[in-house]
Structure 1
Amino acid sequence: MKTQLAFASLLALTTSLAAPAALAQTAGASPPPPAQSAPQTDETTGEPAEQDVEISAPGAGGENEDIVVIGRNIPNVVRSTPQVVSVLSAEDIARTGEGDIAGALQRVTGLSVVGNGFVYVRGLGDRYSLSLLNGLPLPSPEPLRRVVPLDIFPTSVIASSLVQKTFSANYPGEFGGGVINLTTKAVPEKSFFAIGGSVGFDTETTSELGYTYDGGKHDWLGYDSGERKVPGFVKQAGIDRTTIPTSQAINLTNAETSVLFENYHIPPNFSGEASMGTSVDIGGTRLGVIAGGGISNTWRTRDAVAGIRNIPATTFRRVTTDHRALVNGLLGLGAEFGEHRIRLTNLYIHDTLKQGRLGAGTGENFESPIEGKAPIMEQNTNWFERQLFTSQLVGEFDFGDLDVDVRGAYANTKRKSPYERAFRYLYDASIHDYRNTLNGGSSATIAFSDLNENLWAGGIDLAYDLNLGRPFTIQAGYAYQDTDRSSYRYTFDYVMPGGTALPNPFSQMRPDFLLSDYTLQTNGIVLRPSTTSQGARAYDAELTIHAGYAQLEGEIADGLRATAGVRYETADQSVIPTDNQPATVLSNDYWLPAATLTWNFAPDMQWRLNASKTIARPQFRELAPQLYLDFDSDRVFFGNPFLKDSKLTNLEARYEWFFAKDQRITAAGFFKKIKDPIETVSFQVAGSNATQLNFANAPEAHLYGGEVELQKYVPLDFINNELFTTRRLVLIANYTYSHSEVFAGNQLIRDPINPASVTRPANQVFTSGQPLVGQSDHLVNLQLGIEDTTKLSQLTFLFNYASERNVARGLLSGGGLPPIVEKPGVRLDFVLRQGFDVLGGQWEIKLEGRNLTGTRFIEYQDFGGDIGIADTNTFDLGRTFSIGLSTRF
């Protein structure tokens, strides 16, 4: 065997779980991008030169076009767009050193990353954010969400990321906090070949104790080699809700998916990638191709604690080791002729998490230790395989005064989780040992789940320049989106005939012997559909949207620019579950107006005012009445089929001073009124202290706040030293203050526990004045660095702070629970990038250090009084360090 069997160490674990925790964001998650050229300076002014930023977004006419106001050319993308945007170019992304786009985006003003790659804009949850790829929507591989987790996108395939915080009619109406539009790389300027790799370690994970299991020989790639193939009899038993007999149960893979090992040599993180591109001119057409692929392996161990801090007997400790394997590939074909561009983009991302978990402590009813041993011991082995594929065809045509954009896409996401195994042992003082009798609180379960989602999307945008003596453009467009999802989760319990207890010595066996062919056949053990898995086993969901818009943009007076438009959307949404659970059918249409006024009152300064109305639809999983266990938080979620659309009114005022190229100071104030916001509500399961999370519409909520941003370069040539002649100081800082309040009176709303049959006053679920779930009052980002303007040489320190935010609010009635609160705290990172030329290639070496402050992940509830603080999911985060090397020819 590789290492000592973990089950043999379970007894020692009950007194001391001595595994380290791990980082929340792993080092080396993706290799460094190909060696970048150094930031250049303008030859005439000596100021930083304008970066070329490639953006492909909804709406004809081009977000990246220059405009002329009062005779002055304004080339900066952030300034020239009629809306409030933040843009990360390829160079901006590279400076952060992040391996995925979610990490890079958390440096943008007002943005924070919650969970695994879900971006919150100004504290609004991920349901209020919209993610697009080249202006087209994407389906999600996550059961709990409709939005795509952005940590699956390596920065190496992204040319730019645009965040628009004010709504305009050319974007989809589900625009609560903002839209994040990712643009992939298209036709290269010249031929290149790039290759790179990195290796990293985590002080809480690498070469420390973790828990792993065999699985299959291809697990390191993230692909199952057949050990987890789901037999047909399992699917049929899940559909029919019938028992699987012993004769079939023995055919399931056993030891490879149920034996947990101690591993004191968790390997380092590593990654590698290669890309190439070329272009050729044929007649008046430039044809190009860009292709790339990458693989990364990262490890994270968490030693998480849950329980009341001042009552040690309530503690439950669980050590989780995640092995994440990510494979990605991009193939882009492009053609440019005249002012026209066509691009075909094919993107493939395969992201797998292999997870081993071992825990011990008290259970839902806070059982006391027995003979100094934890009363409960639990083991889980999981495999979560996510896949995203999209093929997009975009044509951007410029016919002089008329611009035409045509977009079409097919996308598919899958999430497969076969062989989710769970074992629960109880300590028996009469034999001084742990037993699993397969009844009476001890159990062995196995679950199989599968999600498949298809999305078809298309649209056409027209823009016509009106020759009125001033720049005026009229735009119109149509968009179509059809999404369908099928999902099932079949859970089975290993049980004895008649529900009797498994006798000794079988009940004292480790998991693989407990479920061996001999044990199953000797005792007649069968697989019965789980009685604890309530709700629907499966559901089908669909969302179809038709939208049209008209928008007028132009300079209505010297220095005064206006954009006004309206979008009409009609949508049909349905979630149809099995098992006689209530279905959801929503059919709504909306008129969504938007207007932005920009006053360029001085050569380098302008004011913006924006007003709009937008919506947020409930996500499929929020509607599906099906139990789902989130293994990251160890919380159970259950959908509410009676949720309604949320409607938002948005107001913003903004001051901007562009005192030099790519340098600015901005300040903004914003207000949002949300009718029927969807909130996560936690409550205690009847008869125990276990927590479950459901969803409910609050009557109303308000969000308001302000943000400031500074981007400044300071040449260091005044220092009398040759080293600083071509170097400059880079200062990028932003701060966002936001405050939200929920308002609830005696209005009757659907009860989050029993929405089909119970209504209750809203103030029994929500407390007026409490913040929205996920909203932090304070967000601070600071980048301070030194870089060379003539060659690649950068040293950047990155500081990030987010104040506390609610993960879920507590249901007030029935005893009441305080909200579950996350404390993100302070993080300090550094990135060192140095370029050099060797063997005819441009080389880059990159050093990274993450979470230098050693900030812990803290999640808790404050019960007050004698109980005090109870941790719900708290663990140490490691400091991570990585080194990468890449080259470009």
Structure 2
Amino acid sequence: MNKPRLASLLLLTSALAVPNLAWAQDSTGPDADASLDQAQQAEDDAGEDLPEVSIPGGDIVVTGRRIRNIQQAAPQVVSVLSTEQIARTGEGDIAGALGRVTGLSVVGNGYVYVRGLGDRYSLALLNGLPLPSPEPLKRVVPLDLFPTSIVASSLVQKSYSVNFPGEFGGGVINLTTKAIPTETFVKIGGGASWDTETTNRLAYSYYGSKTDWTGYDNGNRDMSTELAGYVNSGTLLADGSSDLARAIGSTLITGRNAVVQKSDNAPANFSGNISAGTSFDLGGAYLGVIGTAGYSNKWQTKDIATTRVAGNDPETYEQRFQNVVTDNHIVANALLGIGLEWGENQVRLTNVYIHDTIKRAGLSLGNRNANDEIDYMYQDTGWYERQLFETQFVGEFHLDPDTQLDLRGSYANSKRKAPYEISLQYVRRGSGTYGDQFINRLDGGNEGDAQVKFSNLSEDVWAAGADLSHSFSPGWTGSVGYSYQLNDRRTSRRAFQIRATGDNALISAFGLLRPDVLFQPGMFYIDQATDDNVNYTLLTNEIDYAGAIFDASLNNHAFYTKLVGQLTDALSVDLGVRWEYADQFAGVVPVASTGTTIPDTNLTHEYFLPALTLTYEIEPGMQVRLNASKTIARPQFRELLYQTYFDPESNRSYRGNPYLDDSELYNAEARFEWYMSRDEKLSIGGFFKRLDNPIETFLVRPGTDFITTYANAPKANLYGAEVEVQKYFDAFADRRVLLAANYTYTKSELKVAEGDTTRVYGSSSSNALDYFRDGAPLTGQSEHIANVQFGLEQDGGLSQQTFLLNYASKRATSRGLVQSGQPDIFENPGFTLDFVARQGIDLGGAEVEVKFEARNITGRKHLEYQDFEAGRIQVNTYDLGRVFSLSASVNF
């Protein structure tokens, strides 16, 4: 199907035309544009295909179209990574590839920050439709779940247009999955990698089940009949020594889930994937089918330094530990896409499945309360399954040459299961009986502890939308649209604690036993086993039950209208307004009839969100953009839930605040762009954002624990500039040098004054200055972000050698302990250097691609710390290995 060039340009707008380009091939269009089109036609024909992009209000699929520069054609500030550009980065998941885009940084496991703003200010879509997150701490999906093999393109739009949802803080990231193939293919690939900090070195693990290597449990982690019956009964364990409590306790800790095993030879990482596709000519229509499946298995051991202080003297620490933990990370993914194309009409059905599992085991050794004489050891085991399934329907219908109707709908479900998350505490006092031994006296935390947690999250997302666009005169297009989204989530965390009572000598003696022996079923009945009744009893109780189960929902209706037009030959306008009405709820589901004092969250807001973009063409290939808009950011579900949760990645505990409210953002941007050719460009831009009620994190200390929580700061300002350049240089007869660099400077400041207030559940103070410091940077925001790609590539063949340099300056991860005057906690990503080489080989008629990667060549650490006047403490610091990998794929 040969679409007119106009259809290609429609891809990145909510209207059907970009006026100054749409009529370039018309005799009435500007002569300069027509001349430029003719001059670059041969170059464009030799270029790579325009990537498939599916967004609200635009063409759902554009395959095989060629255009002089997709960023230049768009009326907004966008960056698009095609399949080829993603492959050049060598990344295995899309989050890593996005880290090379101007102004983007990747934090933790796949959370992409736009212009240094936190993930709550970044919107992630799949084929223009929303995604739920399987992470209880986030509402945004971690993009490391998406292998690059299933992604056709990634669009990043930094200036707001009303065809996108109003939750658009720093920008939107839209992933488009692969759909109708242009030719039949089968591609098989595999690879292995070596991590210098992990592979063939110390690692911890535990048995679990014999199918753990697949990422799926075989049933060993299912709740026992007694435990399952209890958690569904709506009652509480009133007596820790009751028959039910004994029956439950005797099944919680076993040799399969609690015995940490040491290995001196951690295995290498490996992965495999297969994809295939074909299309059928139905006589006037084309039917395409594409499928992919992949599997990866990776190991990482981290030796983490962690210190916490309550005051401002690093020497009077509350906690100081060295934590060695091993994560076995297993991912399985699959995609099935079916597309039908006839005339100018297209429909497709896309199904995505991703299953992501971390099997964790670790030991921590350290001291508490500035006392180096008493040692504490923690043993932790866990199994964290994340799963995402989404099915989508997207249709594009050309009702007549000037009118287009887009329809889309989706259902998605995300799950997170963490059964048998076990934490055991041992104490070595250095004096007295067994003074040189680690003992678990099971007194609830001071002399030992045993806790077992079961976490479960399930979220359904229903979404639907329609966009109607009509070109009512040359150079002018109007469009209207409606979208609906319903998020429905339930999250539960049932925590159990085992304590010992009785004779102190027996408690100490039994506390020397290995976990599976100490907690074997017979030990829960030992006080009933003889006529003399041994004076030792294990008690099992549920803890933290007041906020054990939460329901949350978001019900959102939105309408938009916009107009795209050509004011003069050189000046175009993109003007629109979006109306959103949303109800957001989060509330406790009482475990028993005792009820709860935790308040529900009920947020009902209505917004009118305008957006205006002006584009002025100075001369062909050179233009200036101005954009102004208003957007919002809603609190994430997890930020609203007053439920304590330990995040193994950040090595800290979190708890929500039911008093959070929406943030409102006012955005302005100016940008100069110069496109020397299709592959060469220079852009310079400046931006400003005012944030009302931004959500920030800080530390609280209820009891002896340090917990991160959230509150709305009064205001914040953010401003900055970014520059991007891409240039090719001739090197040899068939080789050219690529130099691509981008740099973003961002400055943010909280605005807090006397008399400003905020609401924090459980706190007696509403004074904003007790929680936030005037002039402090927004959490998650780096002042400097830079990316450089330098390499060689072959014309007319696959041969690329690329160095990739990333830099991100320090960014605050949290405010210090509330009302203590502590400095902020900072993370410092610093410089990282990677090398990727890709080589194509013709092997007996089959296309073979061999890829070599060297990651973190400089051996950069993960640094997270607090700087006090008396010195620095490490909050979450560990070495990261250099990773070398070799992979190959064969295309039949």
User: Which of residues 775, 778, 784 is equivalent to 2:784?
Assistant: 778
- The alpha carbon displacement at 1:235 in A equals 4.3
**Secondary structure of the corresponding residue to residue 208 of structure 2:** coil
1:735 corresponds to = 743
Deviation larger for 250-259 or 130-139: 250-259
Give, in whole Å, the separation in 2 of the partners of 1:302 and 1:749: 41
Q: Does 1:643 align with 2:660?
A: yes
2:54 corresponds to = 56
Give, in whole Å, the separation in 2 of the partners of 1:253 and 1:334: 50
Give, in whole Å, the separation in 1 of the partners of 2:888 and 2:40: 29
1:241 corresponds to = 236
Give, in whole Å, the separation in 1 of the partners of 2:888 and 2:505: 58
**Secondary structure of the corresponding residue to residue 161 of structure 1:** strand
**Corresponding letter in the other structure for 2:361:** G
**Secondary structure of the corresponding residue to residue 508 of structure 2:** coil
- The alpha carbon displacement at 1:765 in A equals 1.3
Q: Is the 8 A contact 2:494 2:545 kept in 1?
A: no
- The alpha carbon displacement at 1:811 in A equals 4.3
5 Å matches for 1:747-826?
747-752=755-760, 755-756=761-762, 758-813=764-819, 815-826=820-831
Give, in whole Å, the separation in 2 of the partners of 1:870 and 1:846: 40
Q: Does 1:165 align with 2:158?
A: yes
Give, in whole Å, the separation in 2 of the partners of 1:411 and 1:501: 55
- The alpha carbon displacement at 1:47 in A equals 9.8
Structure 1 unaligned residues grouped into runs of 5+: 1-40, 68-72, 717-723
1:333 corresponds to = 338
1:299-356 deviations in Å (ceiling 9; x for gaps): 0000011238985996410001000110000000001101111110000000000000
**Secondary structure of the corresponding residue to residue 503 of structure 1:** helix
5 Å matches for 1:548-697?
548-577=559-588, 578=590, 579-686=596-703, 688=704, 690-697=705-712
**Secondary structure of the corresponding residue to residue 873 of structure 1:** coil
2:470 corresponds to = 464
- The alpha carbon displacement at 1:53 in A equals 1.1
**Secondary structure of the corresponding residue to residue 257 of structure 2:** helix
1:510 corresponds to = 514
Structure 2 unaligned residues grouped into runs of 5+: 1-38, 527-535, 591-595
Give, in whole Å, the separation in 2 of the partners of 1:302 and 1:838: 41
- The alpha carbon displacement at 1:556 in A equals 1.2
- The alpha carbon displacement at 1:684 in A equals 3.3
Task: Label 1:643 to 1:881 Cα distance change in 2 as closer, same or farther (>3 A).
Answer: same
User: Which of residues 844, 849, 853 is equivalent to 1:839?
Assistant: 844
**Corresponding letter in the other structure for 1:417:** A
- The alpha carbon displacement at 1:199 in A equals 0.3
| TM-score of the pair, normalised by structure 1 | 0.90
Q: Is the 8 A contact 1:60 1:462 kept in 2?
A: no
Deviation larger for 822-831 or 51-60: 51-60
- The alpha carbon displacement at 1:519 in A equals 2.4
2:203 corresponds to = 210
2:593 corresponds to = none
**Secondary structure of the corresponding residue to residue 860 of structure 2:** coil
Task: Label 1:305 to 1:778 Cα distance change in 2 as closer, same or farther (>3 A).
Answer: same
Q: Does 1:871 align with 2:874?
A: yes
1:701 corresponds to = 716
Q: Is the 8 A contact 1:683 1:817 kept in 2?
A: no
- The alpha carbon displacement at 1:379 in A equals 0.4
- The alpha carbon displacement at 1:857 in A equals 0.5
Give, in whole Å, the separation in 1 of the partners of 2:505 and 2:408: 61
**Secondary structure of the corresponding residue to residue 117 of structure 2:** coil
Q: Is the 8 A contact 1:47 1:661 kept in 2?
A: no
Q: Is the 8 A contact 1:207 1:265 kept in 2?
A: yes
Give, in whole Å, the separation in 2 of the partners of 1:189 and 1:505: 71
**Corresponding letter in the other structure for 2:404:** D
Task: Label 1:617 to 1:296 Cα distance change in 2 as closer, same or farther (>3 A).
Answer: same
| TM-score of the pair, normalised by structure 2 | 0.89
Q: Does 1:190 align with 2:183?
A: yes
Give, in whole Å, the separation in 2 of the partners of 1:63 and 1:418: 41
- The alpha carbon displacement at 1:63 in A equals 9.6
Q: Is the 8 A contact 1:60 1:463 kept in 2?
A: no
Q: Is the 8 A contact 1:222 1:326 kept in 2?
A: yes
**Corresponding letter in the other structure for 2:571:** L
- The alpha carbon displacement at 1:233 in A equals 3.2
- The alpha carbon displacement at 1:231 in A equals 2.8
Task: Label 1:736 to 1:385 Cα distance change in 2 as closer, same or farther (>3 A).
Answer: same
Give, in whole Å, the separation in 1 of the partners of 2:439 and 2:685: 61
1:293 corresponds to = 293
User: Which of residues 446, 449, 459 is equivalent to 2:455?
Assistant: 449
**Secondary structure of the corresponding residue to residue 782 of structure 2:** coil
- The alpha carbon displacement at 1:526 in A equals 3.0
Q: Is the 8 A contact 1:64 1:77 kept in 2?
A: no
**Corresponding letter in the other structure for 1:820:** I
Q: Is the 8 A contact 1:683 1:816 kept in 2?
A: no
Give, in whole Å, the separation in 2 of the partners of 1:621 and 1:180: 21
**Secondary structure of the corresponding residue to residue 85 of structure 2:** helix
User: Which of residues 523, 529, 532 is equivalent to 2:542?
Assistant: 529
5 Å matches for 1:76-155?
76-155=69-148
- The alpha carbon displacement at 1:504 in A equals 3.5
**Corresponding letter in the other structure for 1:241:** L
| Structure with the larger RCO, 1 or 2 (CA within 8 Å, 6+ apart) | 1
Give, in whole Å, the separation in 1 of the partners of 2:825 and 2:404: 50
Task: Label 1:777 to 1:491 Cα distance change in 2 as closer, same or farther (>3 A).
Answer: same
- The alpha carbon displacement at 1:745 in A equals 1.3
**Corresponding letter in the other structure for 1:747:** G
2:890 corresponds to = 887
1:131-170 deviations in Å (ceiling 9; x for gaps): 0000000110000010000001000000000000011010
2:149 corresponds to = 156
Task: Label 1:201 to 1:774 Cα distance change in 2 as closer, same or farther (>3 A).
Answer: same
**Corresponding letter in the other structure for 1:551:** K
1:846-886 deviations in Å (ceiling 9; x for gaps): 00000001000111011213xx1110111111000000010
Q: Does 1:714 align with 2:729?
A: yes
**Corresponding letter in the other structure for 2:104:** L
- The alpha carbon displacement at 1:518 in A equals 2.8
**Corresponding letter in the other structure for 1:433:** Q
**Secondary structure of the corresponding residue to residue 760 of structure 1:** coil
Number of residue-to-residue matches in the alignment: 821
CA RMSD of aligned residues (A): 2.1
**Corresponding letter in the other structure for 1:409:** S
1:53-109 deviations in Å (ceiling 9; x for gaps): 110001145797999xxxxx9642111111100000000000000000000000000
- The alpha carbon displacement at 1:643 in A equals 0.4
User: Which of residues 327, 343, 347 is equivalent to 2:348?
Assistant: 343
- The alpha carbon displacement at 1:495 in A equals 1.5
Deviation larger for 868-877 or 494-503: 494-503
1:754-787 deviations in Å (ceiling 9; x for gaps): x256342212211111100000000010000100
Give, in whole Å, the separation in 1 of the partners of 2:546 and 2:587: 12
User: Which of residues 861, 864, 880 is equivalent to 1:856?
Assistant: 861
**Secondary structure of the corresponding residue to residue 362 of structure 1:** strand
Q: Is the 8 A contact 2:181 2:290 kept in 1?
A: yes
Q: Is the 8 A contact 2:752 2:773 kept in 1?
A: yes
- The alpha carbon displacement at 1:43 in A equals 8.9
Q: Is the 8 A contact 2:345 2:396 kept in 1?
A: yes
**Corresponding letter in the other structure for 2:600:** A
**Secondary structure of the corresponding residue to residue 151 of structure 1:** helix
Give, in whole Å, the separation in 2 of the partners of 1:758 and 1:77: 54
Q: Is the 8 A contact 2:713 2:758 kept in 1?
A: no
**Corresponding letter in the other structure for 2:77:** V
**Corresponding letter in the other structure for 2:552:** A
Task: Label 1:178 to 1:383 Cα distance change in 2 as closer, same or farther (>3 A).
Answer: same
